Amino acid sequence: MHKTGHVGAALLVYSPIGLLLLIAGLNELAVLGGVSMVALATLPDCDHRLPIVEHRGPTHSLTFAAALGAVLGAVGFALGEQLTALSSVTMGSFAFLIGVLAVLSHLAADSITPMGIRPFWPISEWHYSANVVRAKNPIANYLLLAVGLAATTGVLFLAAELARTAPEQP
């Protein structure tokens, strides 16, 4: 998929987590997670700019998802208490989750294209493709974006409604 499709997939994958965070009153963390998912949505496609890395090779794998999660988790752990009121463990865990989910949403979007992905690289060369739509299809890309935006909008409205109708705390 292209950037628009990947951003939509990232928003769609993140929306239930964002809702839980908003319900828990962790509004800033919910926004940080959403912004981070969008910012990382196309990171696996950095292989286009790396001359020795084939497209949809290492950066389109579960290994890359775990590696990115580990790096972000370490940064979140190191900076957690300095930047937020949350513990280092909480911030590190959240950053790990965002890193993994951002890559997984990218893999999910690319898996519906004919080129597909090799999710278990380097352990296996097994290839998966649902072969539903070509990556360059503008209708598919904008449809993914629209679904992601609709999910995010729905989460915002639902969280606002739940906050509005919640009984007041003494």
- The CA distances from residue 3 to 99, 127, 147, in Å, are 17, 22, 14
160, 150, 149: which is closest to 22 by C-alpha? Answer: 160
**pTM of the predicted model as reported, rounded to 2 decimal places:** 0.93
Other CB atoms within 10 A of residue 20 CB = 13
Q: Which residues of 68-90 are buried (b: 16+ CB within 10 A; e: fewer)?
A: bbeebbeebbeebeeebebeeeb
Mean pLDDT across 63-78 = 97
Model confidence at 51, pLDDT cuts 50, 70, 90, reads confident
> pLDDT at residue 169 above 80?
no
Domain regions of the chain by residue span: 3-63+109-165
How far apart CA 116 and CA 96 sit, in angstroms, is 25
Element (H, E) at 146: helix 138-165
Q: How do residues 98-142 score in pLDDT, each as one tens digit?
A: 999 999 999 999 999 999 999 999 999 999 999 999 999 999 999
Q: Give the pair of three-digit tokens for residue 137.
A: 């299809």
Mean pLDDT across 37-46 = 97
Give the pLDDT of residue 170.
66
Which residues lie closer than 8 Å to 102 by C-beta, 6 or more apart? 10, 36, 37, 40, 41, 43, 68
How far apart CA 150 and CA 152 sit, in angstroms, is 5
